[in-house]
């Protein structure tokens, strides 16, 4: 029997699908320090992770039983992929399963930003009873998203989902991508009708200069931030920026400075440089809408992730 360890959780339907095909699935979290020992003791051939568990070359070297590593999600920065492949281990991920969930989180932050919901939700429980009128006044210059321009940096899977929602909301879309020059964005309506828009990408400076909101959907290649002082300087005064991609893509110190100096009006972060212990200064900043890396964490996305992983494992072992 083939033993599978799902170390960062997997959906019940995926477990059921795998068990039906005769796999033995353990859905529990083993601490990073004890992982190699547990893999060897239980002869796990397949290890499934999300972003929490790290599969580095030391672990790969210690665990010769591993034949397949599965990442539920997109980013593979927690896995030494090339090393694993060199050792003959198959590495799979589920790149498409969570795109819509991440894109929807962008708009959760955006709608919250322009009406100061993040701040109102912090202050209403404490001060709403005694200072209702004062709070009402302080949140009285909200904005609508309709008609505003969103600048999407990274026009891959998630960037294009963001464009789809933005167009449906009546926003103008600008996009920049290192390799993609245009994309067809199809919006499906409730009555099954469709409309397709072709968006051509622009140089990054155009996108930074002309957008009311910038949202990042690029991978993290190295430690150098993609958005730093030079890029923020190009942005409109009073613009907002959202990072649901990877911590460190925006220089966090420069971001705080830009908010304090009111160059930027707001920011939203789902990802942080020093996860899982982000800077307290950043967390205490006014004008930042915060979530703890939950972009892909919807039931629907996790369901799709689990099923996609299960199907790929079944295919790998060629079980009819
Ligand atoms: P993707 O590969 O489909 O698209 C990324 C695009 O970025 C590509 O088209 C690529 O050409 C472009 N690109 C790369 N570097 C660039 C640069 N410096 N400037 C401009 N364009 C650049 O990836 P995706 O599925 O859309 O995912 C995007 C990001 O979202 C990834 O970093 C992923 O880790 C992150 N993500 C976060 C969460 C979350 O929970 N918050 C969940 C899923 C994915």
Average pLDDT on 120-131 reads 97
Q: What confidence score (pLDDT) does residue 148 get?
A: 98
Report the catalytic residues. 246, 275, 293
**How confident is the model over 9-53, as pLDDT tens digits?**
999 999 999 999 999 999 999 999 999 999 999 999 999 999 899
Q: What confidence score (pLDDT) does residue 158 get?
A: 97
**pLDDT over 70, % of the chain:** 99
The residue whose CA is least distant from atom 9 of ligand 1 is: 156
In the predicted model, is pLDDT for residue 221 greater than 90?
no
Average pLDDT on 256-263 reads 97
**How confident is the model over 14-26, as pLDDT tens digits?**
999 999 999 999 9
The pTM score is: 0.90
Instruction: pLDDT band for 320, please (50, 70, 90 cuts).
Output: low
Q: How far is CA 86 from the centre of its chain?
A: 28
DSSP H helical segments within 174-279, as ranges? 204-210, 229-234, 252-260
Q: What are the structure tokens assigned to 114, written together?
A: 């322009």
Contact status, residue 284 vs residue 256, Cβ threshold 8 Å:
no
In the predicted model, is pLDDT for residue 65 greater than 80?
yes
- CA dihedral defined by 311, 315, 316, 317, rounded to 10 degrees? 110
Which DSSP symbol is given to 296? Answer: T
> What is the C-alpha to C-alpha distance for residues 238 and 190, in angstroms, rounded to an integer?
35
Which DSSP symbol is given to 12? Answer: H
Q: What are the structure tokens assigned to 43, written together?
A: 């002869």
Distances (CA, A) of 214 to 36, 148, 236, 244, 265: 42, 11, 10, 11, 12
Å from CA of 16 to ligand 1 middle: 31
Instruction: pLDDT band for 211, please (50, 70, 90 cuts).
Output: very high
Averaged pLDDT of the chain: 96
Our answer on whether the CB atom of 293 is closer than 6 Å to any ligand 1 atom is yes
Q: What confidence score (pLDDT) does residue 169 get?
A: 97
Q: What confidence score (pLDDT) does residue 74 get?
A: 84
Q: How many residues does the chain have?
A: 320
**pLDDT over 90, % of the chain:** 94
Q: Which of 218, 244, 292, 297 to mutate to test the pocket of ligand 1 (most atoms within 8 A of CB)?
A: 218
Instruction: pLDDT band for 57, please (50, 70, 90 cuts).
Output: very high
Å from CA of 82 to ligand 1 middle: 19
**How confident is the model over 82-112, as pLDDT tens digits?**
999 999 999 999 988 999 999 999 999 999 9
Q: What are the structure tokens assigned to 227, written together?
A: 């958005």
Closest atom of ligand 1 to 220 CA is: 32
> What is the C-alpha to C-alpha distance for residues 94 and 307, in angstroms, rounded to an integer?
10
Quote the strand ranges of the chain, DSSP E.
Answer: 3-6, 24-26, 44-49, 68-71, 90-93, 149-153, 172-176, 182-188, 194-200, 213-216, 239-243, 264-269, 288-290
The residue whose CA is least distant from atom 25 of ligand 1 is: 157
Å from CA of 67 to ligand 1 middle: 27
The CB density around residue 316, as the number of other CB atoms within 10 Å, is 15
Å from CA of 295 to ligand 1 middle: 13
Instruction: pLDDT band for 286, please (50, 70, 90 cuts).
Output: confident
Which DSSP symbol is given to 32? Answer: G
- DSSP, collapsed to helix, strand or coil, labels residue 70 as strand
Our answer on whether the CB atom of 89 is closer than 6 Å to any ligand 1 atom is no
In the predicted model, is pLDDT for residue 159 greater than 70?
yes
The residue whose CA is least distant from atom 17 of ligand 1 is: 178
Our answer on whether the CB atom of 75 is closer than 6 Å to any ligand 1 atom is yes
Å from CA of 177 to ligand 1 middle: 10
């Amino acid at each position: 029997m083939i033993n599978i360890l799902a170390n960062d959780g997997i959906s019940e339907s995926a477990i059921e699908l795998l068990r039906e095909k005769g796999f033995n699935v353990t859905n529990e979290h083993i601490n990073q320090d004890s992982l190699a020992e547990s893999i060897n003791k239980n002869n796990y051939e397949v290890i499934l992770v999300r972003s929490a568990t790290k599969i580095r070359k030391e672990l790969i070297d210690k665990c010769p039983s591993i034949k397949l590593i599965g990442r539920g999600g997109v980013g593979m920065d927690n896995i030494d992929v090339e090393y694993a492949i060199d050792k003959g281990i198959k590495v799979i991920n589920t790149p498409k399963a969570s795109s819509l969930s991440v894109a929807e989180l962008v708009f959760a932050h955006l709608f919250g930003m322009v009406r100061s919901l993040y701040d109102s939700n912090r202050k209403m429980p404490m001060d709403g009873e005694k200072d209702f009128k004062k709070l009402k006044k302080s949140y009285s210059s909200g904005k609508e998203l309709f008609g505003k321009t969103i600048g999407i940096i990274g026009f891959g899977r998630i960037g294009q989902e963001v464009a789809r929602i933005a167009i449906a909301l009546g926003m103008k879309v600008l996009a920049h991508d290192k390799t993609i020059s245009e994309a067809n964005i199809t919006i499906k309506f409730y009555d099954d009708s469709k409309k397709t828009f072709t968006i051509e990408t622009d140089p990054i400076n155009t996108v930074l200069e002309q957008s009311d909101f910038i949202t990042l959907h690029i991978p993290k290649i190295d430690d150098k931030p993609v958005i730093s002082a030079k890029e923020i300087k190009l942005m409109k005064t009073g613009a907002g920026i959202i990072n649901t991609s990877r911590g460190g893509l925006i220089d966090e110190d420069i971001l705080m400075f830009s908010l304090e100096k009111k160059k930027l009006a707001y920011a939203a972060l789902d990802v942080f440089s020093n996860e899982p212990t982000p800077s307290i200064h950043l967390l205490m900043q006014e004008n930042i809408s915060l979530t703890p890396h939950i972009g892909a964490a919807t039931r629907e996305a996790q369901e799709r992730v689990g099923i996609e992983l299960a199907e790929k494992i079944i295919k790998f072992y060629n079980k009819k």
